[in-house]
Amino acid sequence: MARRDEIQAVTALFKEAIQLQAGAAPEPYLKLDITLVQLKTVMVLFAKGPQSISALARAIEVSAAVATGIVDRLQGQALIQRERHPADRRVTLVSLTPAGTDLVEEITTAGVERLAALLAALGDDDLRALHRGYAALVEALRDSETRP
């Protein structure tokens, strides 16, 4: 199979896996009482750490005014907090509270547990091949983070 066709086949399988997983969402997802953009905000803060409102707005692709409203609502739910930037008191940083971190960890743990159960059903050869593939994918992700 040509490389381009192989890439299309892998991305098609990835899409199908996402669709199949959506039907079996881990329980923490189902209990969430936040909107998708609020979840996106929490996930960005989990991945990137404290952010200014403007940086957060760019990351979640909304205006600074909309980001401020999202932050207000999440702060009201005690999932995020505001604090002054230590080097520039004019800048407010937004970060997760322990409850916000716990929420993300609960969601990711449930997903990892589901994945572990699926992996346990694979044969040894398939598991080793998937391990090699995921290791390569993670390395490519790391490399993409260091490139401008």
pLDDT in tens, 8-51: 999 999 899 888 877 666 667 677 888 999 999 999 999 999 99
pLDDT in tens, 102-128: 999 988 888 888 889 899 999 999 999
In CATH, the number for domain 32-96 is 1.10.10.10
How many residues can be counted in the chain? 148
pTM of the model: 0.77
Distance CA 114, CA 21 (A): 9
The continuous run of DSSP H or E covering 81 comes out as strand 80-84
Domain segments of the chain as ranges: 1-31+98-148, 32-96
